[in-house]
Amino acid sequence: MPTTRLTVRVVLLLAVLTGGGCRAQSFNDSEFGDITVDDRVPVAGINEQPPGSIPVTNQNAAPEDEDDLSDYIVDDDVVIANGSFDAAIQPNATMPELAVSSAIINGMPVPRHKYPFMVSLQEVHENFHFCGGSLITSIHVITAAHCLTDENGRPDKEANHFRVGVGMHNHKGNSDNHYFRVKRIQIHQQYRGVSAGYLNDIALLTLDESVTRRRGLNAGVITLPAGPRDDAPPWTTVRAIGWGLTENAVPGIFKDPPLLLQGALFRVLNSVACSKQARERIAPSKICIDSSHRAACEGDSGGPLFRQLPSRKYQLIGIASYVAGSCLQKGSANVFTRVSHHVHWIKAALRSDAGSQSPSSQCRRISEGGLSCLICVRGSQHSKQCSRPSSPGIDWRGRNWAHYCDFHGNDISNHNIGPELCGPKCQTVPECTHFAFNPHYGKCWLKRGTMDKKNAQYHDDSGRICGVRV
């Protein structure tokens, strides 16, 4: 059966559960801000057709093959992008249709700038928002692969044809300061589009410059899972956000999506419930939210599904992929790409991106226009900078499992460098396991034997060193 691809405005049935036998994980609702009904999670690739006429795939839902991670040599216990920046189903069941009546009923805007990791992917010439995404480092955005490909998984968007809007609450009318060009696109090698049921629906974008270089930009990163087992258990309370439609679509009538960022709370379904509602055998690389109660639909593929950790940081759980069922149809399921399942791929993609540019060119780019938090050198020169641990400046220390470099006080070599400027640089490196700071102290923990950056300095005598340039 032919399938269709809906680029931006595919819908999701959003629902906020109000009771039932399943209890949400013990998160304080207030930690999610003023939540109402709404969410804008998009649907996976489908060609635009009149609302209600979009069959998604009539595939036999056979179990998926696991990602082939044999080429990725990474440590499962390495945390990347720490966001301190301020089967009871018939195997031959067919997938239901993906609804197109993009609408969100009773949707309400989220608090302004509460989720600074949210970004908008927009056509350059038309300023048209077509997908969402999440900042995971100061130069990297995670989104859905189907936002950048045709229905068969072939790339159909050039990096210079769209831009990324950062630090926005209203996705229109923003100054050029909010927009970044895309330098590189990495789509999961095993993504094959609708024919494969949108498996591995994930992509990584590299921005042409760090978001920290723009003054007055309210931008931040979201924490990624530490590994494949760092995931949200069933019935965990999660949130989805985006810029989808807020009322039912009318056939033949175009409606603009809301200007303000919308959001809603949901609960994660277990695999049995997810497979039943989606009417397909849900693969381990996917995660579902319950959308069978009140709430409606919306668009914005690539947007985040996330939870709040006890540390109050937000952790990315899913990437909006597609909706199984019709908008406003009871028993539908919103399906997301499970981020924890793809941590290995994300690390490898970040590593590949770092290796695609020479240290010298990277440092030149970062240091344009003044003081930089990064400089690349070789050998043990860091010992000259990482000295005098008892005095203000850079301090080099080690532990049996990791190294870190830190600074005490904001003054490094007579330059006032706040940790908020350098912290994101630590986060751009997969090997940075943790970063924390307060007004007078910053620390970047580095996995032993790896190359990393720090707001103050790198580590390890044998590798490249990135630290503060003065």
Residue 318 is assigned to a structural domain of this protein: yes
Contact 166, 211 (CB under 8 A): yes
Predicted pLDDT at 74: 26
Q: In the chain, how many domains are there?
A: 2
d(CA 20, CA 38): 20
- DSSP helix/strand/coil, 361: helix
Residue 461 is assigned to a structural domain of this protein: yes
d(CA 182, CA 191): 20
Amino acid at 410: N
Spell out the residues 6+ positions from residue 1 whose beta carbon is closer than 8 angstroms to its own.
Answer: 55, 57, 58
Vertex 412: Cα angle to 411 and 416 (nearest 5)? 45
Task: Please give the structure tokens belonging to residue 160.
Answer: 């210079």
Predicted pLDDT at 234: 93
Phi/psi for 173 (5° steps) reads 70, 20
Kindly state whether residues 377 and 292 are assigned to the same domain: no
Domain boundary (302, 323, 356) is at: 356
Give the residue carrying structure tokens 């921005």. 207
**For the chain, which residues score pLDDT lower than 70?**
1-107, 244-257, 292-299, 325-331, 355-470
Kindly state whether residues 296 and 365 are assigned to the same domain: no
Predicted pLDDT at 415: 34
Kindly state whether residues 169 and 105 are assigned to the same domain: yes
Domain boundary (303, 338, 356) is at: 356
Kindly state whether residues 144 and 239 are assigned to the same domain: yes
What's the CA dihedral at 361, 367, 372, 377 to 10 degrees?
A: 30
Kindly state whether residues 125 and 224 are assigned to the same domain: yes
- DSSP helix/strand/coil, 134: strand
Kindly state whether residues 299 and 410 are assigned to the same domain: no
User: Within 13 Å of residue 459, how many CA atoms lie on the same side as its CB?
Assistant: 23
**DSSP strand pairing (140-143 vs 118-123):** unpaired
d(CA 249, CA 256): 10
- DSSP helix/strand/coil, 212: helix
Task: Please give the structure tokens belonging to residue 333.
Answer: 């399921």
Residue 44 is assigned to a structural domain of this protein: yes
Q: What is the pLDDT of residues 384-408, one digit of tens each?
A: 233 333 333 333 343 333 333 443 3
User: What single string gives the DSSP state of each residue in 27-57?
Assistant: --GGGG-S--B------------STT-----
Domain boundary (356, 384, 400) is at: 356
Task: Please give the structure tokens belonging to residue 414.
Answer: 């007579």
**Domain range enclosing 177:** 1-60+76-356
Kindly state whether residues 308 and 378 are assigned to the same domain: no
d(CA 331, CA 327): 10
